[in-house]
Structure 1
Amino acid sequence: MTTQTFVLPDVGEGLTEAEIVSWHVAPGDTVAVNDVLVEIETAKSLVELPSPFAGTVGDLLVGEGETVNVGAPIITIASDAAAAGPATVGQSEHGEPAEAAPASAEGDGAVLVGYGTGGEVKSRRRKPAVTSQERVEASVGVVAKPPIRKLARDLGVDLASVAPSGPAGEVTRDDVVRHASQASVFRNIETPEWGDVREETIPVAGAAASVPSATPVPEDAREETIAVKGVRKATSSAMVQSAYSAPHVTVWTDVDASRTMELVKRLKASPDFADVKISPLLIMARAVIWAARRTPMVNAAWVDAEGGAEIRVRRYVNLGIAAATPRGLLVPNIKDAQDLSMRELARALEKLTLTAREGRTTPADQQQGTITITNIGVFGMDAGTPIINPGEAGIVALGTIRQKPWVVDGEVRPRWVTTVAGSFDHRVVDGDGMSRFIADVASILEEPALLLD
């Protein structure tokens, strides 16, 4: 019997550390090669790590919620030498290095690379392997994916009290968010004023408990400290880098998008688009692709090279879509979007959005973007001055589309109006280029038939 140690690998994105989100195994479990051992959260995505060994789980060396350096040991697996699967980094029970070989996940092509030579565990917050809440959830048979369980923990929601709406009886993200918002509304109704309240009634699963005013409120309960890590850490670093290295200039214009709304309505009614989600973002995406072809500099990038600065003009569009997720802002992109038909682009947008919301966006999905759209209209915003993604020269913001009075042929009529704004790297794009690009995007939203040219 040989005891082998699995260390945290670099999953192919220059990873230096990751947080252990949830273990999929427990000591004593039997695992085969490529069985999922653990789910980790990197700066860009949630990743499931497959086992490079076959055998019996020994010790879980890191608790959920802890942050681990690449190369740090996270789990031991005992196996017969003949049954052991391929290993990238392992140790025998005598502490001698085990034979090394590439570890891959058969069938999906995932390769674990750069396991490193060592590391240490940096504990941010320690939790037991199984919490009392999780025991309750297990006893009532709660079905939920790991990202949904993490979201529930972050929002303080007891999954056992959430009514599931998933097709297989599982709790979905919307179920958790809805439950959390309802609980928040209830508390606000029951608590008129902070200063005048002597008692506060808070709903508790299965019972109600009152907190008398005689119980002092801990001073530190007035503030909450949130560790900056994962997506938030990566986003903050990227935004600071972009804001202070690229001179931003923002331009915008109001647009009569009534014909875009008519086209969206027709596409929704078309049998050819019956199985895909259609929204104005689809027309906006086609407009940006079309306009980028006419003004290539907005799809370029400033590159600081050894021989001097260069401007790299891309003749393809990897279209980034800024997505708000429970983990923070992600910007996955659709590769070679210029080659997609309207239906293919609609399908790609739908897949991108669903994957981001479920926390399954891969690092590769977020790399090599050339220009980005941020749809702030879904939050009710009219316009904004977005920050450019590093490595790009432009980002376009689509505001909310709402009915407003608009002058048409000398008469004021109700029309569907939106605002299109764009921020650009002034080192790459001059004022005339920015203006032409935004004007082209606006012209497509005003008359989508131009896409037929």
Structure 2
Amino acid sequence: MTDASVASVREFKMPDVGEGLTEAEILKWYVQPGDTVTDGQVVCEVETAKAAVELPIPYDGVVRDLHFPEGTTVDVGTAIIAVEVAGGAPADVAPQAAAAAAAGTAKTAQEEEPKPSGRQPVLVGYGVSTSSTRRRPRKGPEVAVPQASTALQSELNGHGATPVKDRPLAKPPVRKLAKDLGVDLSTVVPSGPDGIITREDVHAAVPVTTTPEPEAAQAPAAQAPAVQAAAPVTSYDTTRETRIPVKGVRKATAAAMVGSAFTAPHVTEFVTVDVTRTLKLVEELKQDKEMQGLRVNPLLLIAKALLVAIRRNPDINASWDEASQEIVVKHYVNLGIAAATPRGLIVPNIKDAHAKTLPQLAEALGDLVSTARDGKTSPAAMQGGTVTITNVGVFGVDTGTPILNPGESAILAVGAIRLQPWVHKGKVKPRQVTTLALSFDHRLVDGELGSKVLADVAAILEQPKRLITWA
């Protein structure tokens, strides 16, 4: 026997607590260096993609070191705590724990299978214990004969007792592996402690003719020609086709739109609004001496309405920082205006649009459009946008579902303004009506916030005097 006075340090490794998961986050430590722990004592709580799980230590000893602080994500198989144990500590428990962790056999309390009568209790994350269950005293005579121990069965058989038959001992991941490979566990020769069937035992029991590895190796080769054949674009008559290289603005726009569409979860809301009063205000502003020589059109008032709505709902003017996992609220508005040019769609923005008066906004809007049409928009003018307006109405369409400009949280699409029958003051009258569509990043903008912004824009366009009362 080993001298009990001899001490050694054992490293407890992060087990696979979710059948195949590769990492877990340490939520809370229940022990600190210097604390005494006993076999089966819960030392920490971890969280995986499936559940929060408490981890028990598989031996007695004194905590020497906690290798990671709370909140750290640790890979499965990495040592997380060092415990100084006496030489007389059960030497067979730690190897079982290490083997179970490496094989990914841990389960949460909700995932544990019901234990048949006579089965010794199993700690979360470890193999069947060979020691007596001092923490869980047996409660009935029906469990007086342990069936999990091969040695005990041999002893019973030596005294003429009938061999105890139970289903083969194996963890849920091993049973699933056997099922997937078509292996009958009753035919597998176990090599684990106390007759536990391991993954290696299952693989060894697979007939050579049914081994899945060759099939997996052959599958890519068989599928390769199909993938290669599907790559070229199908052409019926190449003499009547024109191929345009994707480059420059169009290439950058395509990459940005694909990245945005598959990164930010888009939500689009619509509202149809009577803008008759807005159009009347546009005509009045064209006669105002302070607006002489400036571009005055419905887009100007729509832009101003959006700026007022953002002032009333500032959280809409934000971005999602994936790297730092933060929402960045902008206290300035760089208003982007989507512009169609011969080189493709570009979105230059008006810097600090929130601080501009209506004449200043009209001047900036005119310069932006003229510069874009002349193809002289600088790269700096297209950087740093926070929210965008796209006027699809100029093409005669009612509205659309716009895709967010990368790095922005919202984009407003303005449809064509048409004379339509509308209920006004209790009577059906011809009114100027348009449809607005607001797309937003649902990671940081919920339905309530998006709806408030869209409703505010619509309310201002219906009653332009709100530009004064809400400003």
TM-score of the superposed pair, with normalisation by structure 2: 0.49
The answer to whether structure 1 residue 278 and structure 2 residue 293 are counterparts is no
Paired-residue identity, %: 57
Structure 1, residues 171-210: CA drift from partner, whole Å, max 9, x if none?
xxxxxxxxxxxxxxxxxxxxxxxxxxxxxxxxxxxxxxxx
Q: Does 1:257 align with 2:257?
A: no
Q: One-letter code of the match for 1:242? A: S
Shift of residue 221 of structure 1?
Answer: 2.9
Structure 1 residue 408 displacement after superposition: 1.0
Aligned-residue Cα RMSD (Å) equals 1.2
Name stretches of at least 5 consecutive residues in structure 2 with no aligned partner.
Answer: 1-236
Q: Which letter maps to 2:274?
A: D
Per-residue Cα deviation, 1:226-281 (whole angstroms, up to 9, x for no partner):
10000010000000000000000000100000010000000112222121111100
Separation (CA, whole Å) in 2 of partners of 1:294 and 1:329: 30
List structure 1 segments (4+ residues) > 3 angstroms apart after TM superposition.
none
Structure 2 counterpart of 1:369: 385
Tell me the SS of whatever aligns to 2:282: helix
Q: How far did residue 409 of structure 1 move?
A: 1.8
Residue-by-residue CA offset, 1:341-386 (whole Å, 9 max, x unaligned): 1001001000000000000000000000000000011111111100
Which string of whole-angstrom CA distances, capped at 9 and with x for unpartnered residues, describes residues 305-343 of structure 1?
Answer: 2xx410000011000000000110000000000111100
Partner Cα distance (1:298, 1:236) in 2: 25
**1:298 matched residue in structure 2:** 316
Whose strand proportion is higher, 1 or 2?
A: 1
- Which range is displaced more, 351-360 or 292-301? 292-301
TM-score (norm 1): 0.51
| Partner of residue 460 from structure 2, selected from 440, 444, 448 | 444
Q: Report the Cα offset of residue 428 of structure 1.
A: 0.7
The residue that corresponds to 1:227 in the other structure is 245
Equivalent-residue separation in structure 1 for 2:386 and 2:351 (angstroms): 9
Partner of 1:268: 286
Superposition deviation, residue 398 in structure 1: 0.7
Structure number with larger C-alpha Rg? 2
Aligned match of 1:141: none
Partner of 1:416: 432
**Counterparts of 1:320-359 in structure 2 under 5 Å?**
320-359=336-375
How far apart in 1 are the matches of 2:312 and 2:320? 19
Residue 105 of structure 2: aligned partner: none
Structure 2 CA distance, aligned partners of 1:451 and 1:273? 17
Shift of 1:220: 3.5
Q: Which residue of 2 aligns with 1:429?
A: 445
Amino acid at match of 1:264: V
Query: Quick one: higher RCO (CA 8 Å, sep 6+), 1 or 2?
Result: 1
Paired amino acid for 2:305 = A
Find the counterpart in structure 1 of residue 411 from structure 2. 395
Letter in 1 for 2:352: D
State the SS of the aligned residue for 1:252: strand
Written as runs of structure 1 = structure 2, the 5 A alignment for 1:187-206 is none
Alignment correspondent of 2:325: 309
* Count of paired positions: 234
Specify the alignment match of 2:257 in structure 1.
239
Indicate the SS of the match to 2:322: strand
Distance in 2 of aligned mates of 1:237 and 1:296? 29
What is the distance in 2 between the residues matched to 1:233 and 1:297? 31
Deviation readout 1:263-303 (Å, 9 max, x if unpaired): 00001122221211111000000011110111122210000
Report the AA paired with residue 249 of structure 1.
Answer: V
- Identify unmatched segments of 5+ residues in structure 1: 1-218
